[in-house]
């Protein structure tokens, strides 16, 4: 094989750096490195370029303005040691992410990649500094997320006062530690969609396309729109939404294998991102479930809703409905309709940005809805009236909204998502501070501390009544909040009475009396729950003390564990 053909890629790179050099000479040089020093052309690239730069005087002629000689290697441990115009930098870094992208550079399509790297890679992440980087040199093979690499010949780029690292074609990347992070590297065995939803990073999956719709993302800076494709892909373990940054030509129902897509979380919902580096190919498996089967298992109920979900198909019963007109930012008036909806697993809010006017008690079917959060609970949104259809037959026995509480075990609550219309029980193990009469900021309703709001400063507070407990079942616990009305109902006195009682017996005695009334007692709670990284919060509409029935409880537990006396 002719050296020039064998080394065509490398020669092109050298030619870019040293246009004067002769292709034949370059090819010979690569052949010499490979045969004499056993150095493959990729690794010889730097040396060859340097040689021809020196030989052809390119360095001087093309970079005359900056008159930069070949720089001394600058070896550093930390990003902080780098200056804004450092070139030929050697540093060891941890690769956090690698996102390939095709970009037009001077009218030419180029494959580049960007991502994050961290210095001090052998220490805990709290000891590290993270920088952006751009890979101009196609180092995807070695720059795998989770790995630790040594970069030789990288350069610092400064733009808008922010520094980043450029990895050039001539940069040598040496893997010091293979990436063995949470996500397997691209190209590995496909995961089930349920498993892929739990990881973050690059995955491969096999699934059937349930939906695919073109969409656009509007750049925040107003510089235009990016065309994308959104859809959903499913296997027998579950389904996951996808977002493709490149063309997606597979039809609904197609069975595909997606290799090297990244899983990211949008709010609380995992999503597969398909980018330039992702390979999608048709897959053949006659035993793979058909669309109809997958769609059937795809149906969700209110209990399954999570913030950020898209393409939701669900059956609901309307509890209440109202519309409201408001003035949008552009000055036009807009109408939004919303109400409460129920299913056997609970209730939530439904918002319609379209002409949809159901009556309470109607049964409806929503397709392609999306979920956002409203006051900490899921809010199902439809944007187009085509997304909803009326069901003539109720899918379940009509739910009585006055008495629709879904009993959920406290542990399931803490492990699930935020939802409304639930009831649960547990034992009160603490009365938290701030129980009783508090003062709220008239502007933001935050509780005042020493007459001052954390947002609005010193304020003349508005009095309010509130009780805060901790509900616990021995395995899980949740903060329980009773606002004014449920608290008045539970205490059996109105806020004024509570106020005068506290002023006569003192706050400590009030809390002490409350403690002897509720501590170690079982309490049934009806209301809604909100779950976040801090744990579960229950907002009660109503609570009641559960009177102990030890004999019945004992029988039940003995039966559960097959114990007899």
Partner 1 sequence: MGGVTLIAESGTRRGRQSAIRIFAQEYSESSLIERGVGEFDPSFVITKLGAKVNRCLVCGGLERMERRDGDSGPFYRGQIRDPSGTHYFDVAPFQPELHPDAEELLARFETGDSILVSIVGRQKSNESEDGGIFTSIRAESFTEIDLGSYKSWMVEAADATLRRLDAYAASQGAELTEEGFRNAGIPEDLVAGLMKAREHYSEFDTEAYKVWILKAFSRALGRTEESSEVSINSDSGLVEKAPIQATESADPRDVILGFLTSNRGDMVEYDSLVGACTSAGSSREEAEDAIEHLKDVTKEISEPRFGFFSVSS
Whole-number Å distance between alpha carbons of 546 and 529: 20
Minimum separation from the CB atom of position 472 to partner 1 (A): 5
Among 2, 16, 174, 182, binds partner 1 (CB under 8 A): 182
Q: Taking CB under 8 A as the rule, does residue 551 contact partner 1?
A: yes
Least distance from C-beta 520 to partner 1, angstroms? 4
- Residue 283: partners with Cβ closer than 8 Å, 6 or more residues away: 206, 255, 256, 257
CA angle at residue 446 from 441 to 448, to 5 degrees?
60
Sign of CA dihedral 530, 536, 539, 544: positive
Q: What is the DSSP letter of 563?
A: -
CB of 548 to partner 1, least distance (A): 4
Q: How many residues does the chain have?
A: 565
CB of 97 to partner 1, least distance (A): 4
Residue 240 near residue 197 (C-beta atoms within 8 A): yes
Site for partner 1 (CB under 8 A): which residue of 169, 172, 522, 526?
522
Q: Which residue from 157, 203, 159 is spatially nearest to 182, judged by alpha carbons?
A: 203
Residue 485: both structure tokens together: 């009305």
Smallest gap from residue 284 Cβ to partner 1 (A): 32
515 binding partner 1? (CB under 8 A): yes
Of 213 and 521, which has the nearer Cβ to partner 1? Answer: 521
End-to-end CA distance of the chain: give it in Å, rounded: 89
**Contact region for partner 1 (CB under 8 A) — 7-15, 104-112, 175-183, 347-355?**
175-183
State the Cα–Cα distance between residues 424 and 414, nearest whole angstrom.
Answer: 11
Q: Quote the least distance from Cβ 370 to partner 1, whole Å.
A: 22
Name the one range near partner 1 by CB under 8 A: 69-77, 187-195, 360-368, 529-537.
Answer: 529-537
Out of 97, 144, 204, 424, the only residue in the binding site for partner 1 (CB under 8 A) is 97
Q: Which stretch binds partner 1 (CB under 8 A): 62-70, 189-197, 231-239, 469-477?
A: 469-477
Q: Of these, 323, 474, 497, 500, which contacts partner 1 (CB under 8 A)?
A: 474
* CA 460 – CA 439 distance, rounded (Å): 9
Q: Of 511, 442, 441, give the one whose Cα is nearest residue 450.
A: 441
Could you list the beta-strand ranges (E) of 412-502.
Answer: 419-431, 436-440, 452-453, 457-458, 462-472, 477-482
- Residue 461 CB, nearest distance to partner 1 (Å)? 24
Q: Please identify which residue in 145, 153, 378, 436 interacts with partner 1, judged by CB under 8 A.
A: 145
- Report the interface residues with partner 1, using CB under 8 A: 96-97, 99, 115-116, 118, 125, 130, 145-146, 181-183, 200-201, 262, 264-265, 427, 429-431, 470, 472-477, 508, 512, 515-516, 519-522, 533-535, 547-551, 553-555, 557-558, 560-561, 563, 565
């Amino acid at each position: 094989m002719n050296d020039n053909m064998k080394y065509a890629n490398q020669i092109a790179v050298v030619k870019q750096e040293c246009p004067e050099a002769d292709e034949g000479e370059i090819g010979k040089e690569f052949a010499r490195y490979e045969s004499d020093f056993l150095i493959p052309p990729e690794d010889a690239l730097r040396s060859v370029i340097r040689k021809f730069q020196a030989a052809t005087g390119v360095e001087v002629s093309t970079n005359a303005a900056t008159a930069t000689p070949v720089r001394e290697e600058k070896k550093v441990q930390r990003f902080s040691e780098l200056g804004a115009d450092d070139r030929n930098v050697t540093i060891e870094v941890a690769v956090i992410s690698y996102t390939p992208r095709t970009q037009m550079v001077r009218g030419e399509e180029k494959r580049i990649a960007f991502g994050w790297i961290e210095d001090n890679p052998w220490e805990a992440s709290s000891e590290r500094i993270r920088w952006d980087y751009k890979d101009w040199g196609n180092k995807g093979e070695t720059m795998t997320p989770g790995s630790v690499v040594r970069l030789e010949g990288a350069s610092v780029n400064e733009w808008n006062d922010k520094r980043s690292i450029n990895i050039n074609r001539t940069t040598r990347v040496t893997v010091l530690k293979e990436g063995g992070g949470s996500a397997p590297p691209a190209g590995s065995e496909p995961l089930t969609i349920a498993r892929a939803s739990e990881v973050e990073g690059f995955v491969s999956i096999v699934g059937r396309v349930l939906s695919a719709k073109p969409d656009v993302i509007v750049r925040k800076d107003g510089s235009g729109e990016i065309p994308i494709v959104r859809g959903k892909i499913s296997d027998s373990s579950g389904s996951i939404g996808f977002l493709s940054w490149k063309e997606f030509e597979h039809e609904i129902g197609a069975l595909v294998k997606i290799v090297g897509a990244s899983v990211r979380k949008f709010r609380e919902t995992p999503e597969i991102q398909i980018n330039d580096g992702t390979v999608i190919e048709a897959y053949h498996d006659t035993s793979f479930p058909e669309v109809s089967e997958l769609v059937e298992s795809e149906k969700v109920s209110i209990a399954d809703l999570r913030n950020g979900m898209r393409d939701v198909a669900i059956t609901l019963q309307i509890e209440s409905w109202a519309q409201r007109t408001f003035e949008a930012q552009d000055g036009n008036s807009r109408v939004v309709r919303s109400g409460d909806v129920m299913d056997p697993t609970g209730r939530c809010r439904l918002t319609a940005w379209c002409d949809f006017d159901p009556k309470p008690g109607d049964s409806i079917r929503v397709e392609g809805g999306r979920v956002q959060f409203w006051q900490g609970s899921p809010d199902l949104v439809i944007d187009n009236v085509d997304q909803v259809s009326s069901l003539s037959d109720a899918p379940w026995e009509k739910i009585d909204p006055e008495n629709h509480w879904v009993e959920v075990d406290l542990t399931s609550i803490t492990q699930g998502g935020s939802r409304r219309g639930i009831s649960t029980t547990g034992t009160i193990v603490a009365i938290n501070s701030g129980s009783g009469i508090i003062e709220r900021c008239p502007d933001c309703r935050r509780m005042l501390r020493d007459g001052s709001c954390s947002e609005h400063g010193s304020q003349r507070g508005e009095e309010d009544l509130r009780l805060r407990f901790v509900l616990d079942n021995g395995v899980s616990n949740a903060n329980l909040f009773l606002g004014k009305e449920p608290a008045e109902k539970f205490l059996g006195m109105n806020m004024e009475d509570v106020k005068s009682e506290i002023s006569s017996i003192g706050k400590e005695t009030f809390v002490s009396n409350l403690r002897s009334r509720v501590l170690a007692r079982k309490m049934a709670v009806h209301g809604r729950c909100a779950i976040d990284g801090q744990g579960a919060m229950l907002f009660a509409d109503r609570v009641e003390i559960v009177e102990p029935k030890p004999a019945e409880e004992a029988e039940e537990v003995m039966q559960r564990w097959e114990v007899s006396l």
